[in-house]
Amino acid sequence: MRTAILTPAYGRDYTTAKAAKADFEADKDFILNDLSSPWDGKPANKSGLVEGGYAHVNLRFCKQTKVCVVQLGKNK
DSSP codes, 17-28: HHHHHHHHHTT-
Would you state the pLDDT for residue 76?
Answer: 47
pLDDT at 75 over 80: no
Would you state the pLDDT for residue 20?
Answer: 98
Average pLDDT over residues 54-68: 96
Closest CA to 64 of 3, 16, 7: 7
**Assessment of whether the complete model's pTM goes beyond 0.75:** yes
Q: What is the mean pLDDT of the chain?
A: 92
31 by Cβ neighbours in 10 Å (0-12 / 13-18 / 19+) ranks as middle
Average pLDDT over residues 21-48: 94
